[in-house]
Structure formats: C-alpha cells, structure tokens
Chain A
C-alpha cells in the first residue's frame, strides 16, 4: 500500500543538539510538506517542497532546515536554534497545483526536550 512513513514516532532532544526527523513517501507525489502542531493550535507550515532539489520556507521556518535530494524523501532537521522544539511534527505529500488534491499525512513524530 502507498503511504507516508515518519520515523521515529518519539524523539528526545538534548540542549544544543540537532535532531533529524525522517519522512518517506511512495505515493509518487511531487509536493511534500512539514507541519508543526502545538496543543490547541492548528497545523503550522514549516517548509514545503514542490520538486526535487527545491524547497521553500513556510510560516515558521526559523530553527529548522530541510533537504529534498530524492522525490521520496523530505527529512526535517530541528536545529539547536529552535528554542522551543517540543511539538508534534507531521509530514504530508500531495499532487501539486490542483485544488482538489488532499494532502496525505504520516503518523507524526512527537519531539520532546530532555
């Protein structure tokens, strides 16, 4: 079955440490996204990518970095510059440039500070 796989499910970060969240999809989607979800808030866009080797900042990109070297993969690095990284992170993919295409989501990664 096609889908999006996020790993790990739970992740703990020490002070000053960079951590990388994995996102892999086999849906053959060009567009991929990273969202952050905090309690009582909706999803906020961190980064998105419409094509391999290209990505753009979303609304809350500070303290995060991404790469898109393969169509299937869109890893997110939470850097030490992100002072409040505790949140639920969701990766999504979709077909681009079509209003009727829903986003498909992974199961998420819960990141906490040690």
Chain B
C-alpha cells in the first residue's frame, strides 16, 4: 500500500479563492509527523506546514492550514486567498519511526495552477 497518497495530479483555482489539496497516509506507528512542501518551477522544496500525530488542533501558518482527520488518516492542505505565486507542485510527506532512523515518505505531488 502507498504510504502517502495524493490523488489530484493537477488543480486549478481562481486567484483569491481557497483551495484544498488532498493527502491520505498509511502508518501503524502511533507517533508520526505530517508535512507539506511547495516546489516552484525553479525546483527548490519549501517547507510550508507541520502536523504531529498527537496534536489536538489543526496546524495553521499564515494562509496555510492543515485539515487533520486522524481517524480517516487524511491531512489535507488548505490554501486561503490564493495568489499567483502559489502556482507550484505541492508534496505531502510523512515522517515515522522511532529510535534511530525516521523514514520520510513523499507523495507524488499535486500541481496547482492559480488563474488570474
């Protein structure tokens, strides 16, 4: 089974509108972390937001929020008030494991295009 599933290869959103990018994950580890990264066309990976498995509240960072539904194993990224600069690939990732090495697994990404 895929550890991280992003089912939306591409998304369009009108400028100033909100958009939700889907991510589901699979782990049997009770302790894990979920991350979203943005990758513009230039290639660098930019960390956006983090959610811990034990966090009671959804994470927020400026215009980014994470809709964390633990029972459904989903961690959707919500971008409010989309801007043209938000056009990029977005990757969901999970860090799991205890002790020594903690494996990080990435989804295949969602390409977001913001329309003026």
Tell me the A residues contacting B by CB distance below 8 Å: 33, 35, 40-43, 45, 48, 50, 56, 88, 90, 92, 96-108, 110
Contacts and interface: CB of A to CB of B under 8 A. Distances in A.
Contact of B43 (A33, A40, A88, A104): A88
B44 A106 contact: yes
B108 A40 contact: yes
Given A41-B108, A42-B108, A42-B109, A99 B102 contact: yes
Interface of B: 4, 31-33, 35, 37, 42-47, 50, 52-53, 91, 95-96, 99-104, 106-109
Contact of B100 (A35, A50, A99, A106): A50
Nearest to A50: B101
A76 to B, nearest CB: 16
18 contacts: A35-B106, A40-B108, A41-B108, A42-B4, A42-B107, A42-B108, A50-B100, A50-B101, A88-B43, A90-B43, A98-B102, A99-B32, A99-B33, A99-B52, A102-B35, A103-B45, A107-B42, A110-B43
